[in-house]
Structure 1
Amino acid sequence: MPTTDPIDALVNLRDLGGHPTGNGVVTRQGVVYRSDAPHIDDRAPEHMLRWPPEVVVDLRDSAEVGDREHPLAAVAAVRHVALLEELQDTDLEFDDAVQELTAFYQSIINGASKKLVEVFRIVLDADGPALIHCAAGKDRTGVVSALLLSAVGVRRDAIVADYLHTDRNMFRVLRRLDVAPVLPPGVDEEKVQDLMSTPTEAIESVLTAFAAHEDGALGWLRSHGATNEELRRWHQKFLP
């Protein structure tokens, strides 16, 4: 990650290419990126294989986006998939932040499955690189990234490592946020710092939920409406 001013460059941006699968094949670069939310005055990243992206998937809620035009709207097709808006009635009350994040991630898998499949299809059908982001690029983006990587058989430890990569970027991410990131319903604001960390238990719970299905994440996607043809195309697109 280049050392740039956090005010004028994405600081949690990375390519999901290069991750190893169980059989040693690595995911293809230039297919899907993940990041924190872009700003209107951001400099173009110099370390990406292709930029700008062809499609941007913005996972933020309408309250976060407001009536502002997306900063990349002039150079990419922007799709808003508000991942949390269906979860506003979810009651999450835990004393421990790790338990809270784990329950939050599970609520996304169980309560926003249709939207997760929608994101999968947007990325699948993109003619060029797809950028997925929320506010910090950690939680919503982390769950989506884990799904996309798992669906082509990326090793569990590699997916966890990608999730943990955000931890080193969080200070600069928090400096860039012009609005508070959306938190699980009912969360005490005093827990914000703890919830901005990246505990392995939280993302491990996502991977365990996928693994509970026959064929893992493929089975999860299939059980929520993805077709075998779409799954075949995803393998063909994301693996060399």
Structure 2
Amino acid sequence: MPSIAPLSKPALQGVSNFRDLGGHTGLDGRRVRTGLVFRSDHLAGLTPDDHRTLQALQLTHSLDFRGISERAALPSVVPGAAAVSLAIEPTVVVRVQALLARGQVPTEAETVELMCQTYRAFTREAAPTYARFLRHLLEQPTPVVFHCTAGKDRTGFAAALLLGALGVERDAVMADYLLTNQLYRRSPLVEAHGPAHVMDVLWQVQPAFLQAAFDAIDTDVGGLSNYLEGSMGLGPHELERLRERLLET
């Protein structure tokens, strides 16, 4: 398995799962540039020291994959960064809550399958939103951070798409995705209730989740290249510009 990139993680007190996506080996052996694209959790718990740390990164935009009620419950303000909504509603949480309300407690395996279904939906229903995400990186060639609530699922798939578009091998993409299990701390600001075995699945990442998305892409359109140019509508010139911007020469 290819090694993952050296982990660049600024020290932040009120944020978890924050890291630089740079450092991976991409197309033609070119490395993904550092200091341009960061991923994170909800960013609502920033401390004054965190503000100063983020200001040093010169972030200009905060791309938010959270749904409407999530944003209202936990407003996220990044100093100096304009907020951009790329809303994808958290359907898996709603589905689990509906099951529990009916007295139906999903098993661990059933909860894993619910997560896999969510990732398949990312590739299908949310393709236009993820296309907007990649196009933003083209239109605003300045440092950005993108996030959702935990920075692991909607954000994790966005990171996987971006790294894949830059030519990073899937094994390395998966390894980067799984770093969430080391870096994410459940936020006291996020309310979540349910059986322990269900919550353990919902608040971690597993290879099966992202693999479900990869498999859906491969089955539906025959691979990531077809997905980027077909389902997401990104032309070859746009992809080349994205690589020129985010890969070292």
Output the TM-score relative to the length of structure 1: 0.81
Query: Aligned to 1:123, which of 115, 137, 157?
Result: 137
Output the TM-score relative to the length of structure 2: 0.78
Contact persistence 1:58–1:133 (CA under 8 A): yes
Q: Which residue of 2 aligns with 1:178?
A: 189
Q: Deviations over 1:179-209 (max 9, x none)?
A: 237xxxxxx9321222212111111222333
Q: Displacement of 1:161 after TM fit?
A: 0.8
Contact persistence 1:15–1:48 (CA under 8 A): no
Q: Structure 2: how far apart are the matches of 1:113 and 1:80? A: 15
Contact persistence 1:136–1:177 (CA under 8 A): no
SS in 1 for 2:84: strand
Asked if residue 218 in structure 1 is aligned to residue 232 in structure 2, the reply is no
Q: Which residue of 1 aligns with 2:210?
A: 203
SS in 2 for 1:44: helix
In structure 2, stretches of 5+ residues that fail to align are: 1-7, 100-105
Greater helix content: 2
Q: Which residue of 2 aligns with 1:19?
A: 24
SS in 2 for 1:101: helix
Q: Structure 2: how far apart are the matches of 1:101 and 1:67? A: 23
Q: Displacement of 1:210 after TM fit?
A: 3.5
Query: Aligned to 2:149, which of 123, 135, 143?
Result: 135
In structure 1, stretches of 5+ residues that fail to align are: 182-187
Q: Structure 2: how far apart are the matches of 1:24 and 1:108? A: 29
Q: Structure 2: how far apart are the matches of 1:192 and 1:144? A: 23
Q: Deviations over 1:117-141 (max 9, x none)?
A: 1111112222311111001100110
Q: Displacement of 1:36 after TM fit?
A: 0.9
Q: Which residue of 2 aligns with 1:161?
A: 175
Contact persistence 2:141–2:245 (CA under 8 A): no
> Which stretch of structure 1 is more off in the superposition, 222-231 or 111-120?
222-231
Q: Which residue of 2 aligns with 1:52?
A: 58
Contact persistence 2:15–2:46 (CA under 8 A): no
Q: Structure 2: how far apart are the matches of 1:204 and 1:98? A: 12
Q: Which residue of 1 aligns with 2:77?
A: 71
Q: Structure 2: how far apart are the matches of 1:217 and 1:49? A: 35
CA spacing shift, 1:12–1:208, aligned 2, 3 Å: same
Q: How many residues align?
A: 225
Q: Displacement of 1:239 after TM fit?
A: 1.1
Asked if residue 41 in structure 1 is aligned to residue 47 in structure 2, the reply is yes
Contact persistence 1:37–1:136 (CA under 8 A): yes
CA spacing shift, 1:52–1:11, aligned 2, 3 Å: farther
Over the matched positions of the two proteins, sequence identity in percent amounts to: 27
Amino acid aligned to 2:71: V
Contact persistence 2:41–2:150 (CA under 8 A): yes
Contact persistence 1:34–1:137 (CA under 8 A): yes
Q: Displacement of 1:177 after TM fit?
A: 4.3
Larger Rg: 2
Q: Displacement of 1:218 after TM fit?
A: 3.1
- RMSD of aligned alpha carbons: 3.0
Amino acid aligned to 1:83: I
Asked if residue 106 in structure 1 is aligned to residue 106 in structure 2, the reply is no
